[in-house]
Amino acid sequence: MSNDDYIRHLGSRVVAKAVVQTMSYAAKNPVGAVVGVAGSIAVIPALGITGTIAIPLTIVGGILAGAKGESSIKQATKNLGNLISETAVNTKNTFSNVTKGVSGFFGFHSKEDYLNQGIDNLKNNFIGEAIESFTNAIAIDSKYSEAYFLRGCLYSDTAEYEKAISDYSQVIQINKNHIESYNYRGNIYAAQQNYKRAISDYTASLKLNPIDSDIRYRRGQAYIETEDYQKAVLDYSHIIYVEPSNTEAYLIRGSLYLKLEKYVESLSDYNQVIKMNPNCSESYFYKGYLLSLKKDLKGAIDNYSRAISIDIDFVDAYVNRGYIYKIRKQKTEALADFKKAIRLFHLESMQDEIENLEKEVKSLEREIENVPWWQTKIF
């Protein structure tokens, strides 16, 4: 396989899979998580022989956590304009005298009593009791959206996702403008890989709040999963417009442009990241890959080397640089990079990658041993 064929082969195989790896929000809680491609490495055949080359094109995170990694109930408390505290205050002011009097004499509880009881249980982390209290409130008023919503958040946090979807749907039926219910239901749909419904919910949310970059980010991820890259570009472009210093959005959009074969725009985005953050090793890595597609092998090596200088354990950069060295017949340098990558892969127990690179190492060692003495550099 010629160098030109290799580069074309590299681009056609890798880019088809790489964009779906742009899941870079860290996940501490899987609630509403969008699960990414299994594993953090896209692997492709290289040089028409036994080797593989690893090309993850953007920050690989694996999953996009609902509510930025926080539980639904914690995020709900923050995002609802202090719904819990306001509800407690309102019900106290409005009903305190009445409910206290009636409850004291007859043991009667109003829906507000149960809601406040649920809030108290929630504050003390009595989840089961809180769910029961909200359920009692709903039994009194079947259109009590606040109780449905808080119970939905608890169901979501306890992994009872279908019940959570049902409660969020009830809230939306009662109040078509309840942004958080669209958001949280969309997160669950995304976690279930029901991206069409997730996109629908995120779109409804954005109609109500067009400047929510977090939800636009999530919708962009869902568009990526459905391979609607043009619409994903529009979402990340909007994020960049609102947040011009958002390097992550530039990285993702750069990879989307790469998928769409808009190499000039892709390179521009990677360069912008480097300009804003010269110590971003990933931006040099992605730029190196892009330059290899453009047949600028020296430029690719320079950028992989820069990525390694920032992150000495950047295993994919060693692998990719090794293959570029091999194309350029720099066998000793390629051998060194492959051996370094093998050591790093051992730390991650990535046996397939180790076996592939060990084959490359053996092949290179045989080639080096068989080089005639007059072709060996003495000085």
pLDDT on residue 315: 94
pLDDT score of 351: 87
Residues 113, 194 contacting (CB under 8 angstroms): no
- Residue 108: predicted pLDDT: 60
pLDDT tens across the length of the chain (379 residues): 445 544 444 444 344 434 544 443 323 233 333 222 221 112 112 222 233 333 222 222 222 233 333 455 555 444 433 444 444 444 444 334 333 333 433 456 899 999 999 999 999 999 999 999 999 999 999 999 999 999 999 999 999 999 999 999 999 999 999 999 999 999 999 999 999 999 999 999 999 999 999 999 999 999 999 999 999 999 999 999 999 999 999 999 999 999 999 999 999 999 999 999 999 999 999 999 999 999 999 999 999 999 999 999 999 999 999 999 999 999 999 999 999 999 999 988 888 899 999 999 999 988 888 766 555 554 4
How many other C-beta atoms are found inside a 10 Å radius of the C-beta of residue 113? 20
Are the beta carbons of 307 and 286 closer than 8 angstroms?
no
Type of residue found at 252? I
This prediction has a pTM of 0.74
pLDDT at residue 216, rounded to an integer: 96
Domains of the chain: 3-70+176-372 (1.25.40.10)
Strand partners, 45: 52
Pairing verdict, β 51-54 and 43-46 = antiparallel
Q: Are 337 and 322 in contact (CB under 8 A)?
A: yes
